Structure 1
Amino acid sequence: MPSFSASLCRPGPTTRSWAYRDPANLTVLGRAALLLGADPKMVLDKLFEPVKKAAPDLRDIHLATGQLALDKGDFPLAAKIFEDALKRFKEDADLQFGLARALMSGSRPQALRALETALDLNPKHIPAKLLLADHLVDAEEYEEAETLLKEILAVNVRQPEAWAYRAVMAHLRNEPAKETQCRNDALRHYTNNPAVDHLIGRKLSQKYRFAEGAAYQRRALKFDASYLPAKFQLAQDLLRLGAEEEGWKLVNDVHEADGYDVNAYNLVTLRDTTEKFVALTNAHFILRMESREAKVYGPRVLALLTRAHDTLTQKYGVKLEQQTIVEIFTEQKDFGVRTFGMPDNPGFLGVCFGRLITANSPASARGHASNWEATLWHEFCHVITLTLTKNKMPRWLSEGISVYEERQASPAWGQVMNPRYREMILGDELTAVGDLSGAFLTPKSPLHLQFAYYESSLVVQFIVEKFGMAKLRAILADLAAGKEINAILASNTEPLEKLEEDFEKYAQSLAKQLAPGLDFEKPKGIAGLMAMPGLATPEGTVPLPPATPLGPDGKPLVDPLKLHPKNFYILNQQARRLMSEKKFAEAKAPLLKLVENYPTQIGGDSALWLLAQVHRELKETTEERAVLTKLAALDADSVDAYQRLIELAAESKDWPVVAENARRYLAVNPLVPQPHRWLARASEELKRPAEAIAAYQTVLLLDPPDPAEMHFRLA
């Protein structure tokens, strides 16, 4: 016999007394069926879709279908539903709020714009205010969040979500009595409401407090063992804590209970992939990878991680009691599901949750190669700092220490000052130290997000240089004790206002030290074209009018270099123009001036790389090699430079240089045979038989065109 909820989707004789067939009532019917546990696809197919076709101007049907997509975790679909609806209902606060919810996890700046619009349309929209409070908690803007919660409670003192957010903030401030009181207030009028503990736990997990978050999800499930949001969040928490058996079981339970939950479906599907991974282990790590990749470079990964472990545990004085789990994914979508619950990857190379690190394989780079060794060093540093603080640290400090430690490990790793960062620092785009975590949530552009990482690392560098490494360790210890970050900074360094003032001067000093012999003022006509060599020009940039008068042929009447002989942008432009005209000998002059004044610039458009190309065209091999050697020592991702150095060194039988650059190449892409082949040959010539054999065997794994030669070499 069909269930009552299912019968709601098929109104017939037995339900004639209430089976109103007009679109508005069918929409209500669908919502009721979902609340009673009806199959979502049946509701969608039998009720919502027919209503949407019959009455596309019915506002409620768009709200209902959008809400269904949100409930099932299909945020891209939800966003499309609300965006389409807003074309019909341009000034609708509820639809703007729905759009904000759909965008919040993937495009927060857009979500906040939708949220702002919703509140402009309805300043008393409580769900929108709650979502804004949620964002403010994420951004560590706790005073602003409290102000907003007071406004909400002034309207409805019983609002459980408002009290739950207060409980979250009390927990983060290490105020257990207040936390308990706020939780009790949230439960006062619905004493076994699982949504309260689920919300508190979810927010704690978003702060990387997974153990505490998991405890709250278990509380929620005591109220209602069938409450799927808590069950799925607990599964995620456990998987990130390394409690995998229970975590995967809960994922399967959620998927069996709700086959339309997108996040649960994604994880169940991912499990089919990860079960085929092989595990490489030692005393400190469990490394899981696709089997072929594990054979090719798995031992290199373990060696790098072990070196990071030995270096950083000693430096920070910490002993890790459990093995760190590292999972490397060949497909970005799999990395996205394991890391974020969705296949989309918003630009991350790796993520650390504490004991667990997830990372993209070099196979997933697809034209955007990066140094996997630097990435894993960065992520393992998070293991150290999250362990020391018991996961109680602001994002800016965690990221800042990791980028700082990259630079300490290798001069080619981590972010360094460049013309764009110089411009941002001197142009008043520094974020105040107390607000830095928010800079990661709502950056104006991808560049501003990268700058947030860089600025955070400079704050750490400033603290270490001015106050000492011991003070940085003391800051981490105080965080573990539950103290508030700004108070911690004040007690271990100087009052926050003074710290921010001194740091600003420090950052500006570093910016001014970048190539002081060059002029970085952007001439008109070049501003849009030459924002910074090595980085893509922003879309939609329009060049300004030329700085010098043009002749009938469209060329400047006055050589810009005579007017601006030290201008960074004009020197770059002149060099490129001469190279495009194949006037390589003439191009050397501006490039040499750039290299002399800015010898640390890196990237495919750097003066060092361009000068190396000029030397190559002029067959000046000695000079080319010298320039490439400088670039290779500074740039962790420059496989073209490594490859060319290998070729030049092999011609002169300089086998140590061949081996060095083959290893550099492998740190970016170990999945191609060439660097392994060259490492094998160099090791053979340097009388390192074990390394040569391992490298030749790896070449054979990569399906070389001449396997017979590899077998001959091995023999």
Structure 2
Amino acid sequence: MRRQLSIAFILSVFAAAVGAQSIDYDPRRAVELRPCDDQRYRGRTEQARTCYMKLLESNTPIVQAEAAWALGDIKRANEIFRNTVQNNERAVQPRVRWARLFLQTHQYSDAAQVFSEALRVFPNDVHAKLGLAGVYAERFEGQARPLVDEALKVDGDLIEAHLLSASMDLEEGKLEDAGKALDRAMRLVSKEKLPPLEVYALRASLEMSRGNSPDQWVERILDYNPRYGAVYEQLAHFEIMRRRYKEATALLRQAVEVQPDLWSAHAELGSNLLRLGNVEEARTHLQAAYSGDPYSPTTVNSLRLLDRIGEFSVSVDPVTIAQDTYEVQLRLHKKEAEVLRPYVLSLTARSIESFTQRYGFKLREPVTVEMYPDHDDFAVRVAALPGIGLLGVTFGYVVAMDSPSGRAPGDFHWGSTLWHEMAHVFTLEATDHHVPRWLSEGISVFEEWRTGPTPGVAVPPETIAALDKKQFLPIAELDSGFIRPSYPNQVQISYMQSGLVCLFIEQRWGFEQLGVLLRQFDGKRSTAAAIEATFKIAPAAFDKEFDTFVRTRFANVLANFSEWQQQQQTARQALQKERWSDVVEPARRAVALYPENVGGDSAHLMLARALDKLNRRPDAIVALEDYRRAGGWDPTALKELARWLDEAGRASDATDVLVSLNYADPLNAELHSQLGERLLTAGRAEEAFREFQALLALNTLDQAPAHFGMARALRELGDQSGSRRHLLDALATAPHYKPAQALLLQMIEERT
């Protein structure tokens, strides 16, 4: 059981100022430490240091370890805790404290393992349970609450349990529950005459969450400890949770002003400035954080990302919609910027036009869209936000997302992702970032279904299973499904539930009422109050009507879920054995039961393939068109559909299908070449030019066809000089390229 803190963390924390540990409410803490603790909690750094230094000579190993920890000597503290545990396999308190050392140094897996070991020694140790709950809370995992509840059942006077409960309540927007937990914590702190700093800080956060000023609590904190910058850092944390990044930035500036050596606040300030697109100032604070904590993974990774900022190109384009002009800034990697830029700009402009009209809000600042070909870079860009499987994130007027090259073709639809994130820009800014997470995500999903590049109400089987198990959350608690999931896939299911809520509102009260609901959120109104004010019904009645709506909409698959699964399996097995006739009926039945399933195992796709193999091409086309209307976008399937449509004499429809593939597979040279030719033939020269421009930017081995295509497109657009230039470039690349020779001869004859 030899376990060692990494050298990186040892070195990083060694130089930290006294005061890095949070207040310890464990009554088992050695009495010798408490005078030193009091000096630390009061912000008397030198007096605390002197006091802890004396305790390094204590005869009690755990006191030595705690003193070394408080002084920033993490290596020594770690060694003492480890030796103490090895010498006494039944020791619980040293294990709990050792685990907290891991927790503070962000080594969550090790912390969880050591807390679990303590619980194996003594299953009812409430402080080990609370420590493990703290790990889960840091990771935004649903197991945190049950552990806190278990601990409180054993001992209702656990201050830390009430504080942890209040913190999670605040993150989930349960303000009344947070207030009650803080009332209990305050009574206990006063009774035990313990430092009230953490209670005050959460009180300040509660007031801020209610839309009130937190100043009275901040003043009490600074009266108690003038160097307690952590209060501003904590206030910023809750603002970031609500995606109020500008407000968080102001608070983090105050944190480092009050406590200049609060390296975590410098790091968070740097990250937050990046979210706002303020690159150079972000670098300054990240470097400051690095100077005090050179091995923090978040800081190091962010600085490494900034070191590669030169690999990205930045373009600024005006977008005119009606009588208004908006500015769009694109930050794209140089290796793909020329290919992606026209498509990203066009889709961004379309989204601005659509959402401005639908939600009656005009953007007040330029929009920035960033795309990262390396998913790890994107992950660093959005670090510290809750959520799993992220494809994109919106920070107000800044959208960051994976580039199409960041994932394999067919893994994600970048066009729908951008559309989703642009909807966030509007819902966040229209409400001054007060919109709850569920509604912002719900509108984004709803707009993907209604107005995005892949329209169709696509709902995966996991959502149907959750609905069948009655796992959908009440509307007033829906945010918690995003923040602290309690079962696998709950985050993704909460996305779907939120989208379905918006669909329900549209169909029950009309689309306009969705905008009315959005505008209810002004920072002082809860989801429950907004629902009641907008629809004149209680949240419980809303939940009941919504439940009826979704169960009616999905009645077929809910009533026959086992049959649907069986039909899917039967069709799949027949497909694998190429028994095409045996595929058709089970696949058709599966589609009838559950048309909204358009994932990789969609019965739509199995049905289309089988019908084609049976020489029933017209029926196969219908099957794929149904799939596409339901929201399906698999590139391979749509290419097949385009080929079939061509063979059926529907060239225009085939071209439209291929154009849509640019929002799923835009780095495909063959697609751009084929589209360019088709669009030229159809008289769509401007679109054809864009395709040949993308083909040229992909830098294929044979660039002559791309130059030749651009020459013809520019000729159709009336740009004769540009046409000649690209024609000559085509011949310079391939002197014997006969189509280019023929066009050059024609142009010479025309001039003569």
Scaled to the shorter chain, the TM-score interval is 0.7 to 0.9
Q: Deviations over 1:398-431 (max 9, x none)?
A: 1112122222204834754566545544653332
Q: What displacement does 1:338 show?
A: 1.2
Alpha-carbon separation, structure 2, partners of 1:16 and 1:220: 30
Instruction: From 346, 350, 355, give the equivalent of 1:312.
Output: 355
Check 1:649–1:482 CA distance in 2 against 1; reply closer, same or farther (3 A cut): same
Determine if contact 1:418/1:514 at 8 Å carries over to the other structure. no
Instruction: From 606, 609, 612, give the equivalent of 1:610.
Output: 606
- Secondary structure in 1 matching 2:166: helix
- Corresponding position: 1:699 with 2:741: no
Structure 2 equivalent of residue 382 of structure 1: 424
Check 1:698–1:583 CA distance in 2 against 1; reply closer, same or farther (3 A cut): same
Determine if contact 1:374/1:413 at 8 Å carries over to the other structure. no
Determine if contact 1:329/1:359 at 8 Å carries over to the other structure. yes
Structure 1 equivalent of residue 394 of structure 2: 352
Check 1:485–1:358 CA distance in 2 against 1; reply closer, same or farther (3 A cut): same
- Corresponding position: 1:673 with 2:665: no
- Pick which of 460-469 and 245-254 moved more: 460-469
Alpha-carbon separation, structure 2, partners of 1:17 and 1:254: 29
| Residues 275-674 of structure 1 mapped to structure 2, 5 A cutoff | 275-283=310-318, 284-341=327-384, 346-366=388-408, 369-410=411-452, 412-413=454-455, 415-416=457-458, 421-422=463-464, 424-425=466-467, 427-480=469-522, 482-497=524-539, 500-514=540-554, 516=556, 520-522=559-561, 527=562, 567-595=563-591, 599-651=595-647, 654-674=650-670
Check 1:258–1:428 CA distance in 2 against 1; reply closer, same or farther (3 A cut): closer
Determine if contact 1:72/1:260 at 8 Å carries over to the other structure. no
Structure 2 equivalent of residue 133 of structure 1: 166
Alpha-carbon separation, structure 2, partners of 1:383 and 1:308: 10
Q: What displacement does 1:104 show?
A: 2.5
One-letter amino acid matched to 2:396: G
Structure 1 equivalent of residue 203 of structure 2: 166
Determine if contact 1:232/1:250 at 8 Å carries over to the other structure. yes
Alpha-carbon separation, structure 1, partners of 2:558 and 2:266: 59
One-letter amino acid matched to 2:204: A
- Pick which of 595-604 and 278-287 moved more: 595-604
One-letter amino acid matched to 2:544: E
Determine if contact 2:449/2:631 at 8 Å carries over to the other structure. no
Structure 2 equivalent of residue 542 of structure 1: none
Determine if contact 1:196/1:220 at 8 Å carries over to the other structure. yes
Q: Deviations over 1:228-268 (max 9, x none)?
A: 23333333333323333322211111111211222212211
Q: What displacement does 1:190 show?
A: 2.8
Check 1:253–1:414 CA distance in 2 against 1; reply closer, same or farther (3 A cut): farther
Determine if contact 2:65/2:77 at 8 Å carries over to the other structure. no
Structure 1 equivalent of residue 104 of structure 2: 71
Alpha-carbon separation, structure 1, partners of 2:451 and 2:488: 25
Alpha-carbon separation, structure 1, partners of 2:123 and 2:202: 31
One-letter amino acid matched to 1:302: L
Alpha-carbon separation, structure 2, partners of 1:362 and 1:593: 35
Check 1:483–1:644 CA distance in 2 against 1; reply closer, same or farther (3 A cut): same
Determine if contact 1:352/1:382 at 8 Å carries over to the other structure. yes
Q: What displacement does 1:147 show?
A: 1.8
Determine if contact 1:422/1:512 at 8 Å carries over to the other structure. no
One-letter amino acid matched to 2:579: K
One-letter amino acid matched to 1:521: N
| Residues 13-24 of structure 1 mapped to structure 2, 5 A cutoff | 19=57, 23-24=61-62
Q: What displacement does 1:99 show?
A: 3.0
Q: Name the TM-score, length of structure 2 as normaliser.
A: 0.77
Q: What displacement does 1:654 show?
A: 4.7
- Secondary structure in 1 matching 2:560: coil
Instruction: From 59, 64, 71, give the equivalent of 1:33.
Output: 71
Alpha-carbon separation, structure 2, partners of 1:495 and 1:688: 52
Q: CA RMSD in A?
A: 3.5
- Secondary structure in 2 matching 1:635: coil
Determine if contact 1:279/1:287 at 8 Å carries over to the other structure. yes
One-letter amino acid matched to 2:560: E
Alpha-carbon separation, structure 2, partners of 1:577 and 1:249: 59
Alpha-carbon separation, structure 2, partners of 1:43 and 1:61: 14
Structure 2 equivalent of residue 227 of structure 1: 262
Alpha-carbon separation, structure 2, partners of 1:502 and 1:707: 60
Amino-acid identity (%):
25
One-letter amino acid matched to 1:614: A
- Pick which of 506-515 and 227-236 moved more: 506-515
Determine if contact 1:430/1:504 at 8 Å carries over to the other structure. no
Q: Deviations over 1:477-533 (max 9, x none)?
A: 342363344323322221324xx42453344234324475x78335xxxx4xxxxxx
Alpha-carbon separation, structure 2, partners of 1:150 and 1:236: 33
Check 1:519–1:222 CA distance in 2 against 1; reply closer, same or farther (3 A cut): closer
Q: Deviations over 1:197-229 (max 9, x none)?
A: 322222222222223333333333333222223
- Corresponding position: 1:265 with 2:265: no
Alpha-carbon separation, structure 2, partners of 1:274 and 1:102: 33
One-letter amino acid matched to 2:373: T
Q: What displacement does 1:67 show?
A: 3.8
| Residues 56-135 of structure 1 mapped to structure 2, 5 A cutoff | 62-63=95-96, 66-83=99-116, 90-119=123-152, 122-135=155-168
Runs of at least 5 residues in structure 2 that lack an aligned partner in the other structure = 1-13, 16-52, 319-326, 711-729, 731-752
Determine if contact 2:372/2:402 at 8 Å carries over to the other structure. yes
Alpha-carbon separation, structure 1, partners of 2:83 and 2:300: 26
One-letter amino acid matched to 1:607: A
Instruction: From 212, 231, 242, give the equivalent of 1:196.
Output: 231
- Secondary structure in 1 matching 2:412: coil
- Pick which of 180-189 and 403-412 moved more: 180-189
Alpha-carbon separation, structure 2, partners of 1:713 and 1:608: 36
Determine if contact 2:655/2:678 at 8 Å carries over to the other structure. yes
Q: Deviations over 1:559-597 (max 9, x none)?
A: xxxxxxxx5344434434444454322432343444456
How many residues are paired up?
650
- Secondary structure in 2 matching 1:327: strand
Alpha-carbon separation, structure 1, partners of 2:406 and 2:114: 31
Structure 2 equivalent of residue 544 of structure 1: none
Q: What displacement does 1:168 show?
A: 1.7
Determine if contact 2:178/2:206 at 8 Å carries over to the other structure. no
Runs of at least 5 residues in structure 1 that lack an aligned partner in the other structure = 7-14, 528-566
- Pick which of 59-68 and 401-410 moved more: 59-68
Alpha-carbon separation, structure 2, partners of 1:267 and 1:593: 51
Check 1:583–1:613 CA distance in 2 against 1; reply closer, same or farther (3 A cut): same
Q: Name the TM-score, length of structure 1 as normaliser.
A: 0.81
Alpha-carbon separation, structure 1, partners of 2:241 and 2:170: 10
One-letter amino acid matched to 1:126: I
One-letter amino acid matched to 2:631: D
Alpha-carbon separation, structure 1, partners of 2:595 and 2:97: 60
Q: What displacement does 1:377 show?
A: 1.1
One-letter amino acid matched to 2:144: A
Check 1:197–1:579 CA distance in 2 against 1; reply closer, same or farther (3 A cut): closer
Determine if contact 1:139/1:437 at 8 Å carries over to the other structure. yes
One-letter amino acid matched to 1:106: R
Alpha-carbon separation, structure 1, partners of 2:148 and 2:627: 47
One-letter amino acid matched to 2:549: S
Determine if contact 2:564/2:590 at 8 Å carries over to the other structure. yes
Alpha-carbon separation, structure 2, partners of 1:599 and 1:51: 62
Check 1:632–1:155 CA distance in 2 against 1; reply closer, same or farther (3 A cut): same
Structure 2 equivalent of residue 540 of structure 1: none
- Secondary structure in 2 matching 1:289: strand
- Corresponding position: 1:205 with 2:225: no
